[in-house]
Amino acid sequence: MSAVASHADVLHHDDHGHHKETFISKYVFSMDHKMISKQFLITGIIMGTIGMLMSLVFRLQLAYPNTTFPIFETLLGEWGKGGKLDPNFYLALITIHGTIMVFFVLTAGLSGTFSNLLIPLQVGARDMASPFLNMLSYWFFFTSSCVMIASLFVQGGPASAGWTIYPPLSALPKAIPGSGTGMTLWLVSMILFIVSSLLGGINYVATVLNMRTKGMKMTRLPLTIWAFTFTAILGILSFPVLFGGSLLLVFDRSFGTSFYLNEIPADLAGGIERVGGSPILFQHLFWFLGHPEVYIILLPALGITSEVIATNSRKPIFGYRAMIGSIMAIALLSFVVWGHHMFITGMNPFLGSVFMLGTLIIAVPSAIKTFNYLGTLWKGNLRLNPQMMFAIGLVSFFISGGLTGIFLGNAALDINLHDTYFVVAHFHLVMGSAAIFGMLCGIYHWYPKMFGRTMNESLGQIHFWMTIVSAYCVFFPMHFMGLAGVPRRYYAFTAYDQFNVFVDMNIFITYAAFLGGIAQFIFLFNFFYSMRKGKKAVQNPWESNTLEWTTPVKHLHGNWPGEIPHVYRWPYDYSVPGHEIDFIPQNTPHEGQEDPLTEPQTIPTPERKVAPTLAKEEAVLFTLVKRWLGFA
């Protein structure tokens, strides 16, 4: 039966190729995964730019709480009266900044772009399993983005309860200005977003499982694909829970229920007294998505990094199977640690220790990944092009941000650190900066595949150095502010004497933030300029092994002009001893290999004396485990 279906599918794609494509079907309602990927990327970049500009506005406020900026009045009108930022709008800005960055840029923008582009190309498929649902996924995302942006312009301003939209601020339309229409639009936007993410995720997983070309065993998949697949699985299993949580929130807001509300008098809550609910329920439902979400953001970036680091070190990735194992471990563990965001909500302390244990265990697979990156770089023949620089930058952030996670994961320490700038520093380094670096790394690396040209390298280097310097200067000092107790989400710290010592630091941070902002405009220029004027790309500009570089530079519907290539080896055959060129693409057979499924070159096991105490079977098992972990 499946043979019938997939045969019909090939036919379907073939006769599609001869269709006349109109502008609309090619650029707007396209069902081609490569075009959809570009749509996700461009939308993500636009949202990212908006989110970044917002951060510059509130950085100015934090650095100069007592100064007036006439530009605020010009830009923001009502919200910047007399050149002073409205305190309510400050909260709105940080909320929408967080929402945009977390969901629109680093979830949809990152996964949407690279899963769409790379899954069919790297597993050897003509398109996604269902191109139609794929198109829908983009349009749900687009509508969701429009609703989120529209919420900026409604009465009362956009949602202001933080990106985590905790009740009661989010549940009582009268709580703060942003709790009204703005919050409603936020929820509408998020529900559209969840639909988009599910349509996309289901498609990605089905494609990877079902549509791999002959010879593309799971253990020959590039690590990008492993990462994207588990990202999709995380999304498929955790977004529905946010959906359920939001549904109940909608009922609390508009239909008089009290799931998340307790002891709220009737005149504050639309004429109905609210009793019996608990905001903690929302926090559980939110963080059941929220924590996997941070890995939905990070895993694709890590996958991209694996690919780029191996290619540009001209070395096989160190510990391929250990990398897969750690992706799986992270994915699994990320479902059982959400409580570390709730240590101080009054949760049962015993439960707190359970969540603490789980959280700290995540450090193990994270460390495996880090060491494997370093192991791959070690003595590599490094090509320090922009994508490689960004990949190394990611590793750096993963370490510096991951270490503070160990602090925060300790329930006792978190009593002090929760809701301070320490948390802001932690997640901006490990999630914000690391994932943005992964995304930029991917853009530089696959730009030739997407647009047929390469981006300017010198501008790329300038972009990298300015960005990494700025990121560390912005986020590193925040650790110290957090340790001193400076709380997050405050409009002006000058209200408290003890925080006045940080005024200078805040000014420094703001300067650094502007440096980063300028760097991103250099990137934007490079990105759009290279689309028309960049150097024409050759088919395989980075001398990489993966299948996407076997497709022609000019995009075809169906990806490969003739038959889909078969795969004969894993993707990391770089610098194979005794081989002239230092890379061997996956579709090159081994000498004498006819069946793609056979593995002719058995890894030679060195002659080793088996210790007499170790039974033979055990020794074999031990070698197998070692080899499986990638150490043989």
Partner 1 sequence: MANTATLTTDSKQTWGGGKSPFSVSYGKLMMWIFLLSDAFTFSSLLVAYGFVRFTFTSTLPNTIVKPFAHLSHSFVEDMNKAGLFVTERWPSPELVFNHFPFLHGIHLPLMFVSLMTFILIASSVTMVLAVEAGHRMAKKEVEKYMILTIIGGAAFLGCQAWEWTNFITEGASLSGNPFGPTAFAALFFIVTGFHGTHVLSGVILNIVIYINVVKGTYDKRGHYEMVEKVGLYWHFVDLVWVFVFTFFYLI
- Interacting residues with ligand HEM (CB under 6 A): 164, 294, 297-298, 340-341, 359, 362-363, 366, 402, 405-406, 408-409, 414, 417-418, 423, 426-427, 430-431
**If DSSP codes are grouped into helix, strand and coil, which group holds residue 309?**
helix
- Please give the residue ranges that form the binding site for partner 1 (CB under 8 A): 1-6, 123-124, 129-130, 133, 198, 201-203, 205-207, 209-218, 220, 236-241, 243-245, 247-248, 251, 255-259, 272, 275-278, 281, 284-285, 288, 566-567, 596-599, 617, 620
Q: How far is the CB of 409 from Cu ion (least distance, A)?
A: 9
Q: How far is the CB of 334 from partner 1 (least distance, A)?
A: 14
Q: Choose from Cu ion, ligand HEM, partner 1, none: what does 42 bind? Cβ within 5-8 Å by kind.
A: none
- Please give the residue ranges that form the binding site for Cu ion (CB under 5 A): 291
Q: How far is the CB of 362 from Cu ion (least distance, A)?
A: 9
Q: How far is the CB of 4 from ligand HEM (least distance, A)?
A: 43
Q: Choose from partner 1, Cu ion, ligand HEM, none: what does 571 bind? Cβ within 5-8 Å by kind.
A: none
Q: Which is closer to partner 1, CB of 202 or CB of 443?
A: 202
Q: Which is closer to partner 1, CB of 89 or CB of 193?
A: 193
Q: How far is the CB of 338 from ligand HEM (least distance, A)?
A: 10
Contacts of 46 (CB under 8 A, 6+ apart): none
> In terms of C-beta distances under 8 Å and separation of at least 24 residues, what long-range contacts does 290-294 make, across chains too?
290/164, 290/338, 290/341, 291/334, 291/335, 291/337, 291/338, 291/340, 291/341, 292/234, 292/235, 292/237, 292/238, 292/331, 292/334, 292/335, 292/338, 293/102, 293/107, 293/234, 293/238, 294/334, 294/427, 294/431
Q: How far is the CB of 565 from partner 1 (least distance, A)?
A: 11
Q: Choose from ligand HEM, Cu ion, partner 1, none: what does 164 bind? Cβ within 5-8 Å by kind.
A: ligand HEM
Distances (CA, A) of 11 to 16, 126, 374, 467, 560: 8, 11, 46, 47, 14
Q: Which is closer to ligand HEM, CB of 366 or CB of 587?
A: 366
Q: How far is the CB of 560 from ligand HEM (least distance, A)?
A: 35
Q: How far is the CB of 250 from Cu ion (least distance, A)?
A: 25
Contacts of 22 (CB under 8 A, 6+ apart): none
Across the strands, what pairs with 535? 454
Total length of the chain: 632
Q: Which is closer to partner 1, CB of 133 or CB of 344?
A: 133
Q: Which is closer to partner 1, CB of 257 or CB of 551?
A: 257
Buried b (16+ CB within 10 A) or exposed e, 587-623: bebeeebeebeebeeeeeeeeeeeeeeeeeeeeeeeb
Tell me which residue has its CB nearest to ligand HEM.
Answer: 405
Q: How far is the CB of 232 from partner 1 (least distance, A)?
A: 9
Q: Answer yes or no: are the C-beta atoms of 226 and 248 closer than 8 Å.
A: no
Q: Choose from partner 1, ligand HEM, Cu ion, none: what does 241 bind? Cβ within 5-8 Å by kind.
A: partner 1
Q: How far apart are CA 176 and CA 184, in angstroms?
A: 13
End-to-end distance of the chain based on CA atoms, in angstroms? Answer: 41
Q: Answer yes or no: are the C-beta atoms of 468 and 474 closer than 8 Å.
A: no
Q: Which is closer to ligand HEM, CB of 187 or CB of 431?
A: 431
Structure tokens at 522: 């250099």
Q: Which is closer to ligand HEM, CB of 297 or CB of 327?
A: 297
DSSP, res 286 = H
Q: Which is closer to ligand HEM, CB of 104 or CB of 427?
A: 427
315: left (phi over 0), alpha (psi -120 to 50) or beta: beta
Q: Which is closer to Cu ion, CB of 292 or CB of 541?
A: 292
Q: How far is the CB of 286 from Cu ion (least distance, A)?
A: 11
Side chain identity at residue 589, one-letter code: P
Residue 198's nearest CA partner among 235, 148, 143, 244 is 235
Q: Answer yes or no: are the C-beta atoms of 227 and 306 closer than 8 Å.
A: yes
Q: Which is closer to partner 1, CB of 210 or CB of 601?
A: 210
